[in-house]
């Protein structure tokens, strides 16, 4: 792993009373409660389906489960707060009932949805917009005192594909994190994880440029989440489909681990856990 001898990243996370050690990389399993997420294999719109998938992912070694009820794929259809909440809350409650030890990340950019899901048993807020699509999000996170995944994106899921102009993509994303983290820290938020937002308002070469310098984000002294699973940056480069992109995902996840990623957000937990085990064995 690339190491920075001057800066030391925060390596613990307090989620719902669980103290999680991120010095050893962890895996976050994706459960999409939507009918239109880009990878069909991740769609679990029914409560029973989602609970079954949660059990499978936990058995395979997932530390976190990331529940999303709003599709953020490019050009996705916008849905109401009520519809997002109606999709999400029954699943949060059902998973917490069946697997009370499960640590649930709530994938939403809406503060009202986030608060309702945390009150229903969620532990972490995963915001693709970094608070930019809901001015109340940062205050909500601070009040709830939950870990916050701060992702970089420009625009909205509906128009982000047209917002890919950067003079220096790494510098812009780094400055974004530094500025947003300062705001969060001033508001009393203790646990922040950063996610460069691969593929969100970024062309393929820009996503790879960020991956090539991923270890430099460690200067912010914050845990890093890498979310590349089955994304366009993989299947478009290789000329295949998302369904055929598991091997490419594993390769890119392994590269992310060598560059300091603390959390891998994935559709395929078993393969990601195996990659972490092999990586960790090489680091001993």
Strands across the sheet with 26-32, in order? 192-195, 148-151, 124-127, 103-107, 64-68, 26-32, 263-266, 225-226
Q: Which of 231, 232, 259, 284 is catalytic?
A: 231
Burial of 174 (0-12, 13-18, 19+ CB in 10 A): buried
Q: Are 193 and 225 in contact (CB under 8 A)?
A: yes
Extract the tokens encoding 57. Answer: 């992912």
Question: Using only C-alpha atoms, what is the Rg of the chain?
Answer: 17
Q: Are 81 and 99 in contact (CB under 8 A)?
A: no
Could you confirm whether 284 is annotated as catalytic?
Answer: no
Could you confirm whether 231 is annotated as catalytic?
Answer: yes
DSSP assignment string, 190-234: --EEEE--TTSS--HHHHHHHHHTGGGGGGG-S-BEE--TT-HHH
Extract the tokens encoding 136. Answer: 């109340």
Other CB atoms closer than 10 Å to residue 159's CB: what's the count? 12
Residue 146 Cα to chain centre, angstroms: 15
Q: Which of 43, 96, 259, 265 is catalytic?
A: 265
Q: How far apart are CA 226 and CA 251, in angstroms?
A: 13
Query: Catalytic residue positions?
Result: 231, 265
């Amino acid at each position: 792993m690339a190491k920075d001898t001057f800066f030391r990243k925060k390596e613990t996370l307090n989620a719902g009373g669980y103290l999680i050690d991120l010095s050893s990389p962890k895996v976050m399993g994706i459960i999409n409660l939507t009918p239109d997420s880009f990878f069909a294999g991740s769609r679990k719109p029914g409560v029973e389906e989602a609970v079954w998938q949660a059990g499978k992912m936990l058995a395979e070694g997932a530390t976190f489960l990331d529940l999303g009820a709003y599709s953020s794929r490019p050009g996705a259809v916008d849905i109401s707060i009520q519809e997002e909440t109606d999709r999400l809350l029954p699943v949060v409650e059902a998973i917490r009932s069946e697997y009370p030890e499960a640590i649930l990340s709530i994938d939403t950019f809406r503060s009202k949805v986030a608060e309702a899901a945390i009150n229903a048993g969620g532990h972490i807020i995963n915001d693709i917009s970094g608070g930019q699509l809901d001015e109340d999000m940062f205050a909500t996170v601070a009040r709830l005192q939950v870990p916050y995944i701060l992702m970089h994106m420009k625009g909205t899921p509906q128009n982000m594909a047209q917002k890919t102009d950067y003079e220096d993509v790494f510098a812009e994303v780094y400055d974004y994190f530094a500025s947003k983290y300062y705001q969060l820290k001033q508001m009393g938020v203790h646990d922040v994880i950063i996610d460069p937002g691969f593929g969100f308002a970024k062309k393929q070469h820009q996503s790879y440029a960020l991956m090539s310098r991923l270890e430099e984000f460690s200067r912010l002294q914050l845990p890093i989440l890498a979310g590349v699973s089955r994304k366009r940056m993989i299947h478009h480069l290789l000329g295949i489909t998302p369904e055929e992109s598991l091997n490419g995902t594993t390769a890119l996840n392994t590269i992310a681990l060598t560059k300091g990623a603390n959390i891998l957000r994935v559709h395929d937990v078993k393969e990601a856990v195996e990659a972490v085990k092999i990586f960790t064995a090489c680091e001993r």
